[in-house]
């Protein structure tokens, strides 16, 4: 995860540096960026999925 809203710059840099050591030509600094879904979005997705697969108790979410 490298979401700028969640992680500090140093935390974001560490995994990208490690990947860069493996494959420097991939240019992870330019291409690798992730975003975290907000909590409400995540809960809605879990509910939609669980309705199709399993009944989960969402009273605690």
pLDDT digits (tens, 9 = 90+) for 34-55: 777 778 887 787 778 776 655 5
Query: Which residues, in sequence order, are CB contacts of 41 under 8 Å at separation 6+?
Result: none
In this structure, the number of other CB atoms found within 10 A of the CB of residue 44 comes to 12
Give the separation between CA 48 and CA 29, rounded to whole angstroms. 34
Lowest mean pLDDT among 11-15, 31-35, 40-44, 55-59: 55-59
Six-digit token string for 11: 């935390």
pLDDT score for 54: 55
């Amino acid at each position: 995860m490298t979401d700028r809203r969640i992680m500090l710059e140093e935390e974001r840099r560490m995994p990208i540096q490690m990947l860069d050591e493996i494959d420097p030509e991939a240019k992870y600094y330019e291409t690798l960026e992730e975003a975290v879904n907000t909590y409400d979005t995540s809960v809605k997705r879990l509910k939609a999925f669980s309705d199709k697969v399993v009944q989960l108790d969402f009273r605690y979410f």
